[in-house]
């Protein structure tokens, strides 16, 4: 689909992969609603993107909050054509640690945000996309979700995170099939290690071994590279139901 004059929702849009994607979409002529748990940060990020962006406080794991965010997005821009889901958390913890079994609520909260939160936004956004007039290719909308290489190469302590991201990858094809008759495509990006606030908050003890596993180029990913792939997924009308690793050939070791 063409991006110019279309409307996008970007979750986790106040920073990192989400903000880079929002910025690229605005540059391509789209109007963008930045959804983020931190409403002040979302508003500040949107201000930096100009009149084509708005920032909204939205907890993606909360049905009512996402519905309210959708209503405010429609009030501002009138339609939804693209949805890029970048909101997520990277929680860690061994299934059995020094203090015993991992608290169940910690596992559940990771699933609630990363997997259920993604599906929550997808179902609402797709329902609005289905109301759009189709283009010449029959397309009404595009959804891009975010998994992780941890969905395939989960490390020690990543049972919760890996399973949440494996769920995102796993629902990609079924969603693409669910929405095929509506003209809505669904793809997923599985990033490797990127220079995001989430990664910046990790110690060198965590960061350095991950960078060492990257093959080429030997560095952290640039969020702009994620944004470039998201834009390609929107514009390439034959790309559907796929999960693409964006990871410089990293294959994570157990720890």
Query: Contact 194/250 with Cβ under 8 angstroms?
Result: no
Structure confidence at residue 206 as a pLDDT band (50, 70, 90): confident
Q: Which of 47, 161, 226, 238 is catalytic?
A: 161
Instruction: Please tell me the predicted confidence (pLDDT) of residue 198.
Output: 73
161 labelled catalytic: yes
Per-residue pLDDT at 208 exceeds 90: no
Domains along the sequence of the chain with CATH: 7-246 (3.40.50.720)
Task: Give the tens place of pLDDT for each residue, 106-150.
Answer: 999 999 999 999 999 999 999 999 999 999 999 999 999 999 999
Per-residue pLDDT at 227 exceeds 80: yes
Per-residue pLDDT at 201 exceeds 80: no
84 to 45, 100, 133, 161, 209: CA distances (angstroms): 16, 37, 20, 19, 29
Q: 59-68, 195-204, 216-225, 243-252 — which is least confidently predicted?
A: 195-204
State the Cα–Cα distance between residues 141 and 62, nearest whole angstrom. 23
């Amino acid at each position: 689909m063409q991006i110019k004059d279309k409307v996008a929702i970007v979750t986790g849009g106040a920073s990192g992969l989400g903000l880079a994607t929002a910025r690229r979409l605005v540059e391509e002529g789209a109007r963008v609603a930045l959804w983020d748990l931190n409403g002040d940060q979302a508003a500040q990020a949107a201000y930096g993107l100009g009149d084509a962006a708005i920032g909204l406080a939205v907890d993606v794991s909360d049905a009512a909050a996402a519905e309210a965010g959708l209503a405010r997005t429609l009030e501002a821009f009138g339609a939804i054509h693209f949805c890029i889901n970048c909101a997520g958390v990277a929680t860690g913890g061994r299934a059995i640690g020094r203090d015993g079994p991992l608290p169940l609520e910690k596992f559940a909260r990771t699933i609630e945000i990363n997997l259920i939160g993604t599906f929550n936004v997808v179902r609402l956004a797709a329902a609005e996309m289905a109301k759009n007039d189709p283009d010449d290719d029959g397309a009404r909308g595009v959804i891009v979700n975010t998994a992780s290489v941890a969905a395939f190469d989960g490390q020690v302590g990543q049972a919760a995170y890996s399973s949440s991201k494996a769920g995102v990858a796993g629902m990609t094809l079924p969603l693409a099939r669910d929405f095929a008759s509506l003209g809505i495509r669904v793809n997923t990006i599985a990033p490797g290690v990127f220079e995001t606030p989430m990664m910046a908050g990790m110690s060198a003890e965590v960061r350095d071994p991950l960078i060492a596993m990257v093959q080429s180029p030997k560095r952290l990913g640039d969020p702009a590279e994620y944004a470039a792939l998201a834009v390609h997924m929107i514009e390439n009308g034959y790309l559907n139901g796929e999960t693409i690793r964006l990871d410089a050939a990293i294959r994570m070791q157990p720890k």
